[in-house]
């Protein structure tokens, strides 16, 4: 059974007189108790995807079509009240850019308490504190932070607080948007390990979003590869990494291989992964054709005019490319 199902989701942003199509017919499912990786370079629509599921897109965004099915309900059709009972209690998120994800003038304690009480209004102060402390321990951070303000904490600590926050109501799904971006190598490694352990201990499903293929391949069971607002490949992470199908995925892997070869002995090798490799700016006005056509070494005339669709290649491995669509 699918826990979460995305069907044909399209989202556009209005920017000045232009419309940017950030998601185009995105469909995939999330299974119970799995870690699903979303891989794609910066600007490929990953955060837009996360915000669409949470229905928290910025004002200039418009969902053109599609549905998000959770527990048989389409989240995109729910009333604000119905939605608010699902938010955080069932699906929570560790937002991208944890730097400003909390209010700068409120103590961590007040912010976590507010969130918890929204969904568990009957708790007394003692229980609230117990739960907050328990979750902080799970996120491997001391309770002392409760009386601190966000700016008094390091990036890693803030990220851990947001992890603790996401656990507050024991949700079924946690979305982690670039959970390690901007952190130092050691912290990155620890946080990923902790997230993995938490997931297997608690049994929730987790969506890990990253531009870094090593983050995804080290954590997730299945991987969704996105390019230019479209899903280009889905498959078990092992097969995606070992036998990538889509030319874009192959390119990503080659780049990573090169980098790790070059920097094998360098201490700070990981920092290179953090930078989204040169983003070539996707041509969003060009809706017809394959989104990858401009960078694809295998592109044919057909790729310019027709859009490939996601097709099953072998067990649970799907790709959207004409090379596999004879």
Given another protein, Mg ion, ligand SF4, none, residue 299, with its beta carbon under 5 to 8 Å by kind, binds ligand SF4
Given ligand ADP, another protein, ligand SF4, none, residue 48, with its beta carbon under 5 to 8 Å by kind, binds ligand ADP
Q: What angle do CA 178, 183, 188 make, to 5 degrees?
A: 75
Given ligand ADP, Mg ion, ligand SF4, none, residue 20, with its beta carbon under 5 to 8 Å by kind, binds ligand ADP
Q: Is residue 56 involved in binding another protein (CB under 8 A)?
A: yes
Rule CB under 6 A: choose which of 3, 9, 35, 45 binds ligand ADP: 45
Cα distances (Å, whole numbers) of residue 257 to 39, 94, 135, 261, 262: 16, 29, 37, 6, 9
Q: What angle do CA 243, 245, 248 make, to 5 degrees?
A: 115
Q: Is residue 119 involved in binding another protein (CB under 8 A)?
A: yes
- Tell me which residue has tokens 């960078």: 295
Q: Is residue 228 involved in binding ligand SF4 (CB under 6 A)?
A: no
Closer CB to Mg ion, residue 112 or residue 195? Answer: 195
| Number of amino acids touching another protein (CB under 8 A) | 38
Instruction: Write out the DSSP string of 19-85.
Output: EEEEEEEEEEEE-TT-EEEEE--TTSSHHHHHHHHTT---TTEEEEEEEEEETTEEGGGS-HHHHHH
Q: Is residue 141 involved in binding another protein (CB under 8 A)?
A: no
Closer CB to another protein, residue 99 or residue 311? Answer: 99
Give the HSE-up count for residue 157: Cα atoms under 13 Å, Cβ half-sphere.
Answer: 14
Rule CB under 8 A: choose which of 7, 25, 27, 84 binds another protein: 84
Q: Is residue 298 involved in binding ligand SF4 (CB under 6 A)?
A: yes
Nearest to 75 by CA among 167, 6, 22, 23: 6
| 288/143 Cα distance (integer angstroms) | 53
Region 95-114 residues binding another protein, contact defined as CB under 8 A: 95, 97, 99-106, 114
Q: Is residue 179 involved in binding ligand ADP (CB under 6 A)?
A: no
Nearest to 149 by CA among 116, 104, 112: 104
Given Mg ion, ligand ADP, another protein, none, residue 22, with its beta carbon under 5 to 8 Å by kind, binds ligand ADP
Residues forming contacts to ligand SF4 in the complex (CB under 6 A) are: 247, 290, 292-293, 296, 298-299, 303, 308, 321-323
């Amino acid at each position: 059974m699918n826990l979460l199902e995305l069907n044909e989701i399209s989202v556009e942003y209005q920017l000045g007189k232009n419309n940017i199509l950030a998601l185009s017919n995105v469909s995939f499912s999330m299974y119970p108790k799995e870690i699903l990786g979303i891989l794609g370079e910066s600007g490929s629509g990953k955060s837009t995807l996360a915000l669409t599921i949470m229905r928290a897109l910025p004002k200039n965004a418009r969902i053109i079509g599609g549905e998000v099915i959770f527990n048989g309900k389409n989240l995109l059709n729910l009333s604000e009240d119905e939605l608010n009972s699902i938010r955080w209690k069932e699906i929570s998120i560790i937002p991208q850019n944890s730097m400003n994800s909390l209010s700068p003038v409120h103590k961590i304690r007040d912010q976590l308490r507010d969130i918890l009480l929204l969904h568990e209004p009957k708790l007394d102060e003692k229980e609230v504190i117990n739960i907050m402390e328990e979750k902080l321990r799970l996120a491997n951070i001391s309770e002392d932070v409760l009386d601190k303000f966000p700016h008094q904490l390091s990036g890693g600590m803030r990220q851990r607080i947001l992890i603790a926050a996401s656990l507050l109501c024991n949700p079924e799904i946690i979305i982690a948007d670039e959970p390690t971006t901007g952190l130092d190598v050691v912290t990155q490694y620890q946080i990923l390990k902790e997230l993995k352990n938490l997931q297997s201990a608690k049994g929730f499903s987790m969506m890990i979003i990253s531009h870094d293929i090593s983050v995804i391949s080290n954590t997730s069971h299945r991987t969704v590869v996105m390019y230019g607002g479209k899903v280009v490949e889905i498959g078990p992470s092992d097969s995606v990494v070992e036998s990538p199908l889509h030319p874009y995925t192959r390119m990503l892997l080659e780049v990573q291989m090169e980098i790790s070869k070059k920097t094998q002995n360098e201490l700070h090798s990981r920092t290179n992964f953090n930078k989204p490799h040169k983003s070539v700016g996707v041509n969003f006005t060009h809706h017809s054709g394959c989104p990858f056509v401009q960078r694809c070494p295998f592109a044919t005339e057909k790729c310019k005019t027709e859009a490939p669709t996601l097709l099953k290649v072998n067990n649970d491995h799907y790709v959207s490319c004409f090379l596999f669509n004879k």
